[in-house]
Amino acid sequence: MKIFADSASDLPKKYFEDHEVELLTLRVNLNDEQYRDILDIDSIKVYDAMRNGVSPKTSQVSPEDFLKAFEQLAKDNEEGLYIAFSSNLSGTYSTAVMIATQLKEQYPDFKLKIIDSKCASLGYGLLVKEAVSLRDQGLSLDEITSRIEYLAKHMTHLFTVEKLDYLAAGGRISKSSAFIGGLLSIKPILHVEDGKLIPLEKIRGRKKAIHRIIELMEERGGDFSNKIVGISHGDDLAFAEEVKSLIEEKLHPKAFDITLIGSSIGAHAGPGTIAIFFPDREYQQQ
């Protein structure tokens, strides 16, 4: 069985290579040049450009990439699972469904499951890692699909950004709110609800925002002793490690997974972003 994932999962290139996951790349437009996320551009380059006032743009995985990947799956008569970036943040999922529907007409036995993860960044990446683990344990396509859909519904995202300007540039908040927030050192706490970015609270100061996020983790996550906590960061590993220590001290999770936020997500969130992911308190290990 073949697993497909796109670059909005924020997993490093080596993970895709080592675990036989086929990478589908979103595009990043920087200074009028278009790059394939992960393959053609390093997210550090995107962050450096943003620090210098450049506003990168992103676009979804191309229909041609989907057609090439999915048609090869059909020709090889293999089963496949594509876990997609949230449909409420990108058109990638709907394009994949369109291409798969077209191929089904040409290849009636074509078997590909497509999951709208309603997740982003490492929240999405943790779904991919779980799917790989289940595949390697020998579970069937239907069993894996069911379990990943269940985990996706329970994956919590909590994050804060260093500068509101980046969210304003992407239309997530108004420019006047970003300006006032910058003057007052306001750090928004956001989460993802039904695949959409939703502001939760506004806190003055980055460290206070992180302490509040950890309080929210305790409220929403319950017992962490058997949970993996994902932390993704916008080119600030030292702060991510500091956040990890604070979470460890308070919640004692089973393990951590830390990653750099990739270009396609980072182009909107910006350098200095810290995002935390974990299954909610309702999640039951299957």
d(CA 90, CA 264): 10
Mark whether 150 and 204 lie in a shared domain: no
d(CA 210, CA 206): 6
Predicted pLDDT of residue 286: 67
d(CA 93, CA 97): 6
Mark whether 72 and 122 lie in a shared domain: yes
* pTM confidence score: 0.93
Residue 195 or residue 254, greater confidence: 254
Predicted pLDDT of residue 172: 47
Please name the residues in contact with 97: beta carbons below 8 A apart, sequence gap of 6 or more. 114
Q: Could you say which of 154, 187, 220 is where a domain stops?
A: 154
User: Mind giving me the DSSP string for 174-188?
Assistant: -HHHHHHHHHTTEEE
User: Using one digit for the tens of pLDDT, what is the confidence trace for 93-106?
Assistant: 999 999 999 999 99
- Taking alpha carbons only, the member of 189, 185, 184, 183 closest to residue 161 is 189
Mark whether 138 and 34 lie in a shared domain: yes
Q: What is the CATH number of the domain that holds 265?
A: 3.30.1180.10
Q: Could you say which of 127, 154, 181 is where a domain stops?
A: 154
Mark whether 33 and 129 lie in a shared domain: yes
Predicted pLDDT of residue 185: 66
Mark whether 125 and 168 lie in a shared domain: no
User: Using one digit for the tens of pLDDT, what is the confidence trace for 139-183?
Assistant: 999 999 999 999 999 999 999 988 766 765 555 444 444 444 444
Predicted pLDDT of residue 201: 87
Mark whether 187 and 139 lie in a shared domain: no
Range of the domain at 83: 2-154
Cα dihedral 275/97/153/230 (nearest 10): -30
Residues forming a β-bridge with 113: 81
Q: Is residue 286 part of a domain?
A: no
Mark whether 15 and 141 lie in a shared domain: yes
Q: Could you say which of 154, 175, 193 is where a domain stops?
A: 154
Q: What is the mean pLDDT of the chain?
A: 92
Mark whether 130 and 180 lie in a shared domain: no
Q: Say if strands 186-193 and 155-160 run parallel, antiparallel, or are unpaired.
A: antiparallel
Mark whether 61 and 132 lie in a shared domain: yes
Mark whether 109 and 169 lie in a shared domain: no
Predicted pLDDT of residue 89: 92
Predicted pLDDT of residue 25: 98
* H-helix or E-strand spanning residue 149: helix 141-154
- Taking alpha carbons only, the member of 120, 117, 58 closest to residue 82 is 117
Predicted pLDDT of residue 181: 44
Predicted pLDDT of residue 202: 86
Q: How many domains does the chain have?
A: 2
Instruction: Check whether 1 has a pLDDT greater than 90.
Output: yes
3-class DSSP state of 105: helix
E-strand ranges in the chain read 2-6, 21-24, 27-30, 33-36, 57-59, 79-84, 111-116, 155-160, 186-193, 196-204, 228-233, 255-260, 274-279
